[in-house]
Chain A
């Protein structure tokens, strides 16, 4: 019920979808940089995979976190594959 109200409110005011709902926003630059807003937390971090609790898994080579803050993460490296859960 609560979600519906939020969705309706967002539709009525034409606000960006990621603002009110719990969704994430991903910006890709080539296959070298990816910015994910609203990523929540890192579950797994290896040089070849980064798993985020928002439901994204990024596979690649030499992955490293260029910048991290409470709601943004920038991942650099050679991105090969992005997997979506749920």
Chain B
């Protein structure tokens, strides 16, 4: 059914209305003469609606004369009708054809080069090499021999292990797999010590390989050797091993913060003023008066550049300045209020200092009051992993 509908649409048909006394005769004549009609619908006495192919419309006139009826075209459907509609609008067709041609022409060229997968090699360097080899924005896709470029890059850069080139539309994606640095891989094969990287008290130490140098409860400072890679043996000379251990230490972090009882606060009133200007290179067009009526305000500037194809930057940009009005107000805190504020601020501060992976065991506050401010000091006790591997130097 769908195929039939598509065929009908392709051939083009009209929905027509026949009015007369002998509409049945009209239908019979149509079928006898091989004029295909379908979807015949009787509306009222003497009026029928039917569908007929565009090419058969001319043959109907004769039948209309015979049956003394009249025809009215209700709707024209199909591709021939659409093309007829645009036959008069020559310029429109020409321009749309030109557009298609331009889009086709542009799609033959590269408009974006993307480098992915590189971690250590800077993207600029790879882009520079690609540029030298001819992978440039605007070059024709067909004229580039990627196999040759790949082998050239392999020769030029020893640290590139593999290159993959994907062309998707007008975008070239160069995928790079780096050769891993040789030193990193073999660190495990060297004898190493484990050294403290911060101060604290040893809480737990379990050594898988190496000689333990500290005990639980010892105070260690940054740089102290915790586990030695030189293992003494009763029967032979000392053995050099790669140390491996889990060490946990307790650390303390303290911060203090003073909050005065009287404070001037800047707060947003909620009033916002937006000013736009368009920049064409060095030339600026102000769309509105550029000053604001606020006395105190925050300014947020945002620049939107017109970027074509996600890559090509044009000198046209839209600058939007948003002014947010600020109001000053004096606040007088009670000692309790000041203390809670200080506690919250000091807690946030200390949490920023504690490194990731550390477990906070507990924390306590010390509160001092001075004549016009309250000082809160926080001490946080943490449990954290410690120890970095260090090559033993001879």
Contacts and interface: CB of A to CB of B under 8 A. Distances in A.
Interface of A: 41-47, 63-70, 73
A26 B351 CA distance: 88
A44 B24 contact: yes
B30 A68 contact: yes
Secondary structure type dominating chain A contacts: strand
B23 interface: yes
B36 interface: yes
Contacts of A64: 39-42
B40 A65 contact: yes
Contacts of B45: 46
Contacts of B42: 45-47, 63-64
B31 interface: yes
7 contacts: A47-B42, A65-B39, A68-B27, A68-B40, A69-B31, A69-B34, A69-B36
Contact of A70 (B31, B38, B48): B31
B28 interface: yes
B246 to A, nearest CB: 79
Contacts of A41: 28, 31-32
Nearest to A69: B31
A68 B37 contact: yes
A65 B24 CA distance: 11
B29 to A, nearest CB: 9
Contacts, number: 45
B67 to A, nearest CB: 13
Contacts of B32: 41, 70
Given A42-B28, A45-B24, A65-B27, A70 B40 contact: no
Nearest to A64: B41
Contact of B38 (A43, A45, A46, A66): A66
Closest A-B pairs by Cβ, 10 of them? A65-B40, A41-B28, A64-B41, A67-B38, A45-B24, A42-B24, A68-B31, A47-B42, A70-B31, A42-B28
Contacts of A66: 38-40
Given A65-B38, A67-B39, A70-B31, 8 more contacts: A42-B27, A43-B24, A45-B42, A63-B42, A64-B41, A68-B27, A69-B31, A69-B34
Contacts of B36: 69
Nearest to B23: A45
A80 to B, nearest CB: 16
Contacts of A65: 27, 38-40, 50
A31 B394 CA distance: 101
A78 to B, nearest CB: 14
Nearest to B30: A68
A65 B40 CA distance: 5
A41 B27 CA distance: 9
B289 to A, nearest CB: 69
B31, B39, B45 — which one has the most chain A CB atoms within 10 A of its CB?
B31
Interface in B1-42: 23-24, 27-28, 30-32, 34, 36-42
A68 B38 contact: yes
Nearest to B4: A67
B357 to A, nearest CB: 73
